[in-house]
């Protein structure tokens, strides 16, 4: 009995490890040493990244370092990565809301930590670590939405581009300030921004470091909705907005996200084949059989 439990958990750990390797961009073959960068990041503590998984299949991920406008310390970067593993294996999950504590979103990486990680080699390691994590966020089998209140700056603006959708509260702003810091985005924000708003608009935002307010974000397709509320009520509003898209069973929602991801990331022929495979996982499944038994009419 004990041996079979041990074997089972070993298989689960191995599956999680393989899953993570598949979903990430960089591994040891790219010169990436995750253990080394995690040891380095652990030297910069403070704040937390808190995950709450709701019984309705919607999780909330809170970037929480309010005395520093929710800047990412080293330990928060590690926690964000760990929360991705938790969400990847959440079979009942359908949606995710990413938001910041204390009515602001996130002011990027903690400048105190960044100063201490100033060699290009270490910078690249941190960049690979965060690209891996944000790529895993983007590839979660959940519909993800960033709730931007207050400011999303630097790495914070990059974080919000890793979600499927962005909701902006009144008076909020998204700002790619990297150029003013003598940098370019490094957490994958430039590549994702181009996909979202096209290279001309992305070029303008990155080179001007302009503040993007909710109305302009909506106009260029960076935001999906401008909310009416601020404070705690905006989280409620975000739940309501997301619920329009997460109706139905977790299995169908997750399958839907997978076909969107393959269409987004793969060549057309490969995406079509993936779509066929995913279709096979829901055809004749419980949700499909239930809908057929009701002889649904879509009036």
Ligand X SMILES: CC[C@H](C(=O)O)C(=O)SCCNC(=O)CCNC(=O)[C@H](O)C(C)(C)COP(=O)(O)OP(=O)(O)OC[C@H]1O[C@@H](n2cnc3c(N)ncnc32)[C@H](O)[C@@H]1OP(=O)(O)O
CA distance 139 to 85: 12
Which residue in the set 41, 71, 137, 167 belongs to the binding site for ligand X (CB under 6 A)? 71
Q: According to the binding rule CB under 6 A, does residue 69 interact with ligand X?
A: yes
Of residues 107 and 253, the one with the C-beta less far from ligand X: 107
CB of 269 to ligand X, least distance (A): 35
Q: Which burial class, exposed, middle or buried, applies to 218 when counting CB atoms under 10 A from its CB (0-12, 13-18, 19+)?
A: middle
CA distance 80 to 72: 10
CB of 117 to ligand X, least distance (A): 9
Of residues 90 and 176, the one with the C-beta less far from ligand X: 176
CA distance 176 to 112: 19
CA distance 163 to 192: 10
Q: According to the binding rule CB under 6 A, does residue 95 interact with ligand X?
A: no
Determine the interface stretch with ligand X among 7-15, 65-73, 91-99, 218-226 (rule: CB under 6 A): 65-73
Of residues 101 and 260, the one with the C-beta less far from ligand X: 101
Residues sharing a CB contact under 8 Å with residue 246, sequence separation 6 or more, in sequence order: 57, 58, 94, 95, 143, 253
Q: Which two tokens stand for residue 1?
A: 């009995």
Which residue in the set 40, 151, 192, 254 belongs to the binding site for ligand X (CB under 6 A)? 151
Which residue in the set 110, 164, 173, 213 belongs to the binding site for ligand X (CB under 6 A)? 110
SS3 state of residue 27? coil
Which residue in the set 111, 191, 272, 291 belongs to the binding site for ligand X (CB under 6 A)? 111
Sites of contact with ligand X (CB under 6 A)? 68-69, 71, 107-112, 114, 151, 153-155, 177, 181, 183, 185-187
């Amino acid at each position: 009995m004990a041996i079979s439990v041990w074997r089972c958990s070993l298989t689960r750990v191995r599956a999680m490890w393989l899953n993570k390797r598949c979903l990430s961009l960089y591994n040891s073959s790219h010169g990436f040493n995750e253990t080394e960068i995690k040891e380095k990041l652990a030297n910069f503590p403070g704040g937390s990244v808190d995950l709450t998984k709701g019984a309705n299949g919607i999780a909330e991920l809170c970037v929480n370092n309010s005395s520093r406008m929710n800047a990412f310390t080293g330990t928060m970067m590690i926690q964000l990565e760990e929360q991705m593993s938790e969400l990847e294996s959440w079979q009942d999950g359908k949606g995710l809301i990413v938001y910041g504590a204390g009515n602001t979103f996130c002011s990027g990486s903690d400048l105190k930590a960044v100063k201490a990680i100033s060699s290009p080699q270490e910078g690249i390691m941190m960049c690979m670590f965060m690209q891996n994590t944000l790529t895993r966020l983007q590839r979660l089998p959940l519909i993800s939405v960033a709730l931007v209140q207050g400011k999303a700056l630097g790495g914070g603006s990059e974080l919000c581009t890793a979600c499927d959708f962005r909701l902006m509260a009144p008076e909020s702003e998204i700002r790619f300030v990297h150029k003013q810091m003598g940098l370019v985005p490094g957490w994958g924000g430039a590549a994702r921004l181009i996909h979202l708003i096209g290279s001309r608009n992305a070029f303008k935002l990155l080179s001007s470091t302009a503040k993007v307010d909710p109305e302009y974000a909506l106009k260029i397709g960076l935001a999906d909705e401008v909310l009416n509320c601020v404070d705690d009520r905006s989280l409620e509003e975000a739940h309501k907005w997301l619920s329009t898209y997460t109706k139905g069973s977790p299995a169908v929602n997750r399958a839907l996200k997978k076909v969107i991801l393959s269409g987004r990331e793969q060549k057309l022929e490969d995406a079509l084949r993936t779509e066929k495979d995913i279709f096979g996982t829901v055809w004749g499944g419980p949700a499909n059989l239930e809908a057929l038994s009701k002889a649904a009419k879509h009036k």
